[in-house]
A and B are shown apart, each in its own frame.
Chain A
């Protein structure tokens, strides 16, 4: 911005440092962008899961035990994102004047898990689809050259009646999703989607401190600690080990 004029009507905060610094947590934006981001990612994982299953079917590997386990892990991340989206929408927190915000704890869980999920999913695809992401011709134009086409149709065909063109369309799309410059940029995007890896974890703590949950958890720990002291159990129903201990109570 080089001497950009902003009329008063487009200003929300000006000169109030406290508001400018606390706008992010106090605006209500955070749980709402978490619901949007989680849902958008869940849709993307529907798409990637579909590509992954098709890729393994095309290679004829889908029913191998290890491949099934890896696909199951990818589906688990997908399921987790949809479940967190549901939890955010269906367990809202009361807000100002009868309005509600999406559930903050589910939002915080999505916030931290999503980048790790994305990296894990990419890794699982690379391990599982493996050479199918490499066994590709250079360009769609190859299919227009009869001398090449006969070999591509024979040697690059998929399993179960899938043609070479269909196979290459699929594998190029999957590789574009995870590995090309486009795919790699997307991974960087998802890893840093809404803040650094440290900040998103701190949000979980700061949220618990602000909501009173941290105090409730500490009280829960205190409740356990109140059940014993240096002389043993302080509660009437539990039995001290004096009869079996090598160090009986003096």
Chain B
């Protein structure tokens, strides 16, 4: 990631920029094939367009000075209100109203809209110290996520395999759960799986951390990081069914009409 240092403030994606950004070489597999451009794939294209609507709504809200969804950033741009760390009841109510206004654009069916992860990213503006010695990273990500509003989702849970063993415990599932394999001067290398990364195939970044019944007992599993969706080695496998409604249940937000979804399904059957 990079933080804008120029004179022009960094602004959130437009819908068009968002759709174009998805054609970035990301590795997403479905029906035995690797998807070339997810924004044009029959199983994803309309969800991608619904997310593009969200980004466009930010720019409309800002241009028309409605201030319902957006507010200024402290660096000269504008952002969705929930991406700013809250200091008061007024901040929280305005953030909540922005969440509701965005949710109405998908009729409440898109659980993992980009503002979902603002629930975490905005905490970095208030709580960066918790991440010491990486608190500078927390502050940089607070600014970048607020200014550019990349679509970030998370992968927290280990796969439902050997759930009765501690991650990293002797004889445990060291070959399955995400963990550090080596460290270099530049960073770390991670191998292993996470599950239920809802929506991640259409994101810019996935946030990886740990939530589980059994605490981590090996420091190689004690990792919290962000990774670009198209980073080499990041692979999304969609355990899909035969229809357009994919592993991300909200995928076919196919609202007002009866017909088009069925057509898409037929294409998938035949394609």
Q: Give the interface of A toward B (CB within 8 A).
A: 1-17, 19-21, 23-24, 26-29, 32-33, 35-37, 39-47, 85, 88-90, 92, 95-102, 139-141, 168-169, 172-173, 176, 180-182, 185-186, 188-189, 193, 195, 199
Distance of B208 from chain A, by nearest CB (Å) = 8
Evaluate contact between B131 and A13: CB separation under 8 angstroms. Answer: yes
A16 CB to closest chain B CB (Å) equals: 6
Residues in B whose Cβ lies below 8 Å from that of A3: 181, 189-191, 233
Known A-B contacts A24-B211, A39-B100, A188-B249; A4 and B130 likewise in contact (beta carbons under 8 Å): no
CA distance A14 to B184 in the complex (A): 13
Interface assignment of B202: CB less than 8 Å from any CB of chain A:
no
How long is the Cα–Cα vector from A171 to B115 in the complex, in angstroms?
31
4 tightest A-B contacts by CB? A44-B108, A20-B222, A43-B108, A32-B119
B123 and A11 contacting across the interface, CB-CB below 8 Å:
no
Which residue from chain A places its CB closest to the CB of B85 in the assembled complex?
A99
Q: How large is the interface on B (under 10, 10 to 19, 20 to 34, 35 or more residues)?
A: 35 or more
Report the bound CA distance from A12 to B128 in whole Å: 9
| Interface contact tally, CB-CB below 8 A | 257
Question: Which residues of the other chain, B, contact A95 by a CB distance below 8 angstroms?
Answer: 126-127
Give the Cβ gap from A105 to chain B, nearest Cβ, in Å.
15
Q: Which residues of A contact B175 (CB under 8 A)?
A: none
* Interface flag for B259 (CB, 8 Å): yes
Contacts of B258 in A (CB 8 A): 139-140, 168-169, 172-173
Bound Cα distance A141, B193 (Å): 44
Cα A30 to Cα B217 in complex, Å, equals 23
Question: Taking A33-B119, A98-B87 as contacts, is the C-beta distance between A13 and B222 under 8 angstroms?
Answer: yes
Option from A13, A23, A40, A182 in Cβ contact (under 8 Å) with B245: A182
B103 & A17 in contact (Cβ 8 Å cutoff): no
- Check A4 against B191 for contact (C-beta < 8 Å): yes
Q: Can you identify 19 A-B contacts, CB atoms within 8 angstroms?
A: A1-B190, A9-B140, A11-B225, A13-B223, A14-B222, A23-B210, A24-B209, A29-B123, A32-B119, A37-B111, A43-B108, A44-B103, A44-B107, A46-B108, A88-B96, A89-B95, A92-B92, A139-B259, A189-B249
Q: Check B87–A20 contact: CB distance below 8 A.
A: no
Query: Are A7 and B222 touching (Cβ within 8 A)?
Result: no
A15-B262 contact, Cβ under 8 Å, with A8-B187, A181-B243, A189-B111: no
B262:A36 contact, CB within 8 angstroms = no
Which residue among A17, A24, A90 has the maximum number of chain B CB atoms within 10 Å of its CB?
A17
